[in-house]
Chains A and B, each alone.
Chain A
């Protein structure tokens, strides 16, 4: 299967050509290798999972994609071109949105404002226009609010729209964070353990949202998950990491039957 040709999945979604490619990424912290020479690609429209035991380097990989960590070696290719070194906000401006393993919402702001902040890429009225609340600023505010309200409906958080985020329980916060990332209408959505710390019911909800996002908006998703079961259900292809190295890459079935993966998972007690 060539990575450049589109194909249609069993459930009828079209997976396009490679949109992002990590080439030989190595990331060190002092003497510790968080990531060692890892390469993989993400294709348009797919759900790409990154799994592995705690400390495997999964979050570090997302941080490299976000531009928050700068790898010592390797290249990031995005939409067919090698990405120069960029600040995180520039990466975001290119259409890469994400959530965090430890929720990173703006606690002092309402749910609505948090989600509206996700529209940063689409809202660029000048300061003067904003100061007068006239012209472009006002128009933008209303237009983007409409988009945001659709996302709020989609994730079923209408009732807490005006609530300060600091007052919400954990599960809802995770959902608001997803809403904020979705509001960016990203080309690639990065989710760092979206289901961590959730009960079964919440996990099911979240899985459904992830699938729906991918299905309805065709959003490319790269997601980190700890739980093998969830990953196998959700993803089209899986990268498996262990101690900063890639030990497997393929469809859930291929990965499941990969001896190195089985060893890593049996050998490491994971919580």
Chain B
């Protein structure tokens, strides 16, 4: 079977607007969904889920969130870790204050609370841009971590200062706490990722996305054409933080189970997600998946090959990972700002015409 666009004519604007206009992509997408929902759950164990699948699913949500802000709306943010922490602590407070409410809604609500916090910290973006905005979001990052460390109410006055997720179930199956099974936590996070990706895709292909991109590409012209910059930027901060909050909630409640804020949601988390977005591709939902997958898999791969295979010491392998990631960031920033997503697109364009280029 070949990758083909020709002969696939659209007869309505609705059809032309769809998420995967090319039939082959659409089939690939359905196959991926089927495998993700019906095959993977039966094949994974705790190691796979904890080393690869959960981090991938959760970081992909965060990367989609950050991509909306940075890639689509052009507003730099180094506050991702802090906003994930807001999602985590909001989820914790909700779980412990309203144990009768289902965890699914706690996670969504945690996203909503993070959205509000994100909008507040996004307000400076009306006045400042670029480097200065990055510094302002960095301040948000440090402030939020400090806040969750310092105000005991947030961690329910626990002696350790940590928060830990009590057991919660969905349809009777535990998804948080000590007694979870691999397939359940995987499916729980997968559902959130699929929902987030769909919402992100819908928003970015419609008017909201056009307004964001208009602000990104030329903010003054955008305003003269009728884009309200306040609204556009605030919706970007809100939607972005909503996703990041959800990812923070899942990271804490489902993945780690117990969290010390500085360790789990420090500045390095902000950079990690930003790197995923850059490597994956700014302004691409698919790129967010690719970037998350890449940076989750790379250390696992290096560890298995270098430490497991060649017998290197663990810290040397870790250093090499830093080097590789650093080199890749520089390479992508210089050579391919649209990241893995663009490389994939170019490959597809070549395939589309194969075997007759031009």
Contacts and interface: CB of A to CB of B under 8 A. Distances in A.
Interface of A: 66-68, 87-89, 91-93, 97-98, 100, 104-109, 113, 116-121, 123, 125, 127, 130-133, 137-138, 140-142, 145-146, 149, 180, 184
B206 A137 contact: yes
* Most chain B CB inside 10 Å of its own CB: which residue of A91, A98, A100, A131: A131
Contact of B213 (A100, A113, A118): A113
Nearest to B218: A104
B227 interface: yes
Contact of B225 (A142, A146, A180): A180
B21 to A, nearest CB: 10
A109 B13 contact: no
Contacts of A97: 225
B202 interface: yes
Contacts, number: 107
B224 A141 contact: no
Given A93-B226, A116-B207, A184-B226, 17 more contacts: A68-B220, A88-B224, A89-B227, A100-B221, A105-B218, A106-B214, A109-B213, A117-B222, A120-B227, A127-B203, A131-B203, A132-B202, A133-B202, A137-B202, A141-B206, A145-B13, A145-B17
Given A104-B218, A104-B221, A108-B213, A130 B207 contact: yes
Interface of B: 12-14, 16-17, 199, 202-203, 205-208, 210-211, 213-214, 216-218, 220-229, 235, 239, 283
B17 A142 contact: yes
Main secondary structure, interface of B, reads helix
Main secondary structure, interface of A, reads helix
Contacts of A109: 210, 213-214, 217
Contact of B223 (A89, A108, A142): A89
A117 B214 contact: yes
Nearest to A132: B202
Contacts of B207: 116, 119-120, 123, 125, 130, 137, 140-141
B267 to A, nearest CB: 29
Return the 9 tightest CB-CB contacts between A and B, nearest first. A92-B226, A104-B221, A106-B217, A133-B202, A120-B226, A145-B13, A88-B224, A130-B206, A131-B199
A141 B213 contact: no
A141 B214 contact: no
B196 to A, nearest CB: 10
11 contacts: A98-B224, A105-B221, A107-B217, A108-B213, A109-B213, A109-B214, A117-B227, A120-B207, A127-B203, A137-B202, A145-B13
A141 B17 contact: yes
A180 B221 CA distance: 12
Given A104-B220, A120-B207, A141-B17, A92 B225 contact: yes
A136 to B, nearest CB: 11
Contacts of A125: 206-207
A130 to B, nearest CB: 5
A120 B228 CA distance: 10
Nearest to A181: B225
A98 B283 CA distance: 27
Given A108-B217, A108-B283, A141-B17, A117 B225 contact: yes
A133 B14 CA distance: 11
Contacts of A184: 225-226
Nearest to A183: B225
B203 A92 contact: no
A66 B211 CA distance: 19
Contacts of B224: 66-68, 88-89, 91-92, 98, 104
B216 A108 contact: yes
Nearest to B207: A123
Given A92-B225, A127-B235, A142 B13 contact: yes
A145 B18 CA distance: 13
* Most chain B CB inside 10 Å of its own CB: which residue of A123, A125, A127: A127
Nearest to B12: A142
Nearest to B222: A106
A121 B226 contact: yes
Contacts of A87: 223, 228
B225 to A, nearest CB: 6
Given A131-B199, A133-B206, A141-B206, A88 B223 contact: yes
A100 B210 CA distance: 19
A127 B16 CA distance: 21
B202 A130 contact: yes
* Most chain B CB inside 10 Å of its own CB: which residue of A130, A140, A142: A130
A49 B235 CA distance: 39
B170 to A, nearest CB: 22
Given A109-B210, A109-B213, A138-B14, A120 B225 contact: yes
Contacts of B217: 105-109
